[in-house]
Amino acid sequence: MVIEMDILRIIITIVFVINCIALAAIILLQEGKSAGLGTIAGAGDTFWAQNKGRSIEGTLVKSTKFLAISFLALALVLNMGFLN
């Protein structure tokens, strides 16, 4: 029983580290939120701005949310002591 818990803790720790690396990489891939002077002239209302949820940027935002939630869940599981 103790050996199984140690193996489970190692597996969850490995998944946690992979999750941390992926979260950092996806955050670095995202564009900045500063609109700049283009929105004054109406350039912010382009096709890409309207369909942002279906673009690569929208996918990055959705995956960031998923990885952030899984980061918190894995951190809680590892810290609560269920696997000791």
Full-model pTM: 0.72
What residue segments make up the domains of the chain, in order of their start? 2-26+42-80
In the predicted model, is pLDDT for residue 84 greater than 70?
no
pLDDT tens digits, residue range 9-44? Answer: 999 999 999 999 999 999 999 877 665 555 555 555
pLDDT at 2: 76
pLDDT tens digits, residue range 34-83? Answer: 655 555 555 555 555 556 556 888 889 999 999 999 999 999 999 987 66
Q: Which residues of 9-26 are buried (b: 16+ CB within 10 A; e: fewer)?
A: eeeeeeebeebeeebeeb
